[in-house]
Amino acid sequence: MTEPLADVIDSMPLIDHHCHGVVSGELDAAGLEALISEGGAPAAGMTNFDAPVGLAIRRHCAPLLDLEPHAPREAYLARRADLGGAEATRRLLAGVATSDFCVDTGHLPDGLSTPEELAAIAGGRAHHIVRLEAVAESVAAAGVEPSEFAATYSVALRAAIDEVGAVGVKSIAAYRVGLDLDPTPPEPAAVTAAAARWLSDSPSPDGRWRLADPVLTRLLLETALDVGLPIQFHVGFGDSDIRMFRVDPTLLTDWLHRHRVPVMLLHCWPYARQASFLSLIFEHVYLDVGASTHYVGPTRAAALLAEALDVTPFSKLLYSSDAFGAPELYTLGALCFRAGLTELFAARVDAGEWSAADAARVATMIGRRNAARVYGLAE
């Protein structure tokens, strides 16, 4: 490879192996504020623009809306409103240079674009990721006897995957029960008893079903193992439902010993080094630092990626944005990843530790080829 490293990294089409839909309608100031922080809406008198992600939006997203870099928050929001949601989204997604989007549709899909709509705006291809808990909750909402829950869920999961040609599944066990799971398959009697408890206690007053039972979570994972698609796990960084001490990925160690289905550890901050260790000792474990990069901003992305690459084989690190709702997060996800990778790899080339050709080759592996291989996507 003779192109400068920065040009190779900036021009390679990324595969975003984990993201969500973008808001399909108008997004007012309050809505945008809520979406650019895992903490949701800011406290009275405060703004989420007074954070690394907010400064990054004003620096890097403002020019895409015909504003000067560092345009004030008020000017940014006013220009966004003048353009309208559809045009702002089109502009912000135009430069992500992403060929494939693997979209998890299980989190609040109402009001968000479909995977196909997202990909069409950004000029890429769409792929579906089916959320295990969402399928279970739909089974419960449709009505099922506790003794039939396991069999009905198995059929429903396969149908959900087949309907959209999903390339993977996702577990949010981290949010619901933590990752310290009993690694053994649950006994049928235990599943029936757990299903009976859950079905009798649900839904919540607002009509929502929420699966948070460790026995049923184990059943969902065993069913997914039988299907054989890559399984994504939320790890670490997330909203207030997370109890951080329960989402260290090394808690999955005994479970990981039992199978060889690809396991994709998502986000990983502040557990990137633990995830790196797991990717080294287990041939089927992969990781990314999605979401974390756009929240720390371009100047800290290299440090995050450096932790993720401590001992990780180059074939095990992937790119994801984990962007949700706000198109700015897709822009920053790609930008921060490219900037961080360029800074990190250029330093290694400049130090004489890596050749420029190796740096470009490894960058392409991480940016797209690893995901293409694991998910079976066309290169």
* For the chain, percent of residues with pLDDT exceeding 70: 99
For range 69-91, the mean pLDDT? 97
Average model confidence (pLDDT) across the chain? 95
Q: Please count the structural domains in the chain.
A: 2
| Same domain membership, residue 297 and residue 188 | yes
Same domain, 15 and 148: yes
Q: Report residue 109's pLDDT band, with 50, 70 and 90 as the boundaries.
A: confident
- Residues paired with residue 231 on neighbouring β-strands, in sequence order: 169, 263
The model's pTM is 0.96
CA 45 – CA 32 distance, rounded (Å):
16
CATH of the domain at 262: 3.20.20.140
Does the pLDDT of residue 53 top 60, yes or no?
A: yes
Q: Are residues 143 and 42 in the same domain?
A: no
- CA-to-CA dists, residue 172 to 4, 13, 40, 212, 253, angstroms: 40, 28, 19, 10, 17
Longest dimension (CA), the chain: 64
Q: How far is 102 from 15, CA to CA, in rounded Å?
A: 8
User: What does the angle CA 224 – CA 230 – CA 233 come to, to the nearest 5 degrees?
Assistant: 80
- For residues 157 and 284, membership in a common domain is answered with yes
pLDDT digits over 238-247, tens only?
888 889 899 9
Nearest to 107 by CA among 184, 168, 171: 171
Cα–Cα distance between 6 and 120 in angstroms, integer?
A: 27
pLDDT value at 93 more than 50? yes
Tell me which amino acid residue 131 is.
Answer: R
Q: What's the average model confidence in pLDDT over 372-376?
A: 98
Residue 68 pLDDT greater than 90, yes or no = yes
For residues 268 and 337, membership in a common domain is answered with yes
Which residues are paired to 263 by β-bridges?
Answer: 231, 285
Q: Answer yes or no: do 235 and 183 share one domain.
A: yes
Helices and strands per DSSP (H, E), number in the chain: 18, 7
Domain boundary residue, one of 35, 61, 83: 83
Which pLDDT value is given to residue 356? 95
* Residues 291 and 364 grouped into a single domain: yes
- pLDDT tens readout for residues 248-276: 999 999 999 999 999 999 999 999 999 99
Q: List Cα–Cα distances, 354 to 75, 350, 361, in angstroms.
A: 44, 8, 11
Residues 187 and 294 in one domain: yes
Write down the pLDDT at residue 182: 96
Query: Which of residues 65, 83, 101 is at a domain's end?
Result: 83
Same domain, yes or no, for 59 and 191?
A: no
Are residues 33 and 54 in contact, defined by beta-carbon separation less than 8 angstroms? no
Q: Are residues 242 and 214 in the same domain?
A: yes
Give residue 190's identity as a one-letter amino acid code.
A
Domain boundary among 42, 64, 83: 83
Domain membership of residue 33 as a residue range: 27-83
pLDDT of residue 280: 98
Residue 179 has pLDDT above 70, yes or no: yes
Q: Residue 208: what pLDDT?
A: 85
Q: Closest Cα to residue 232, out of 121, 51, 107? A: 107
pLDDT at position 374, please?
Answer: 98
Query: CA 330, CA 92: separation in Å to the nearest integer?
Result: 8
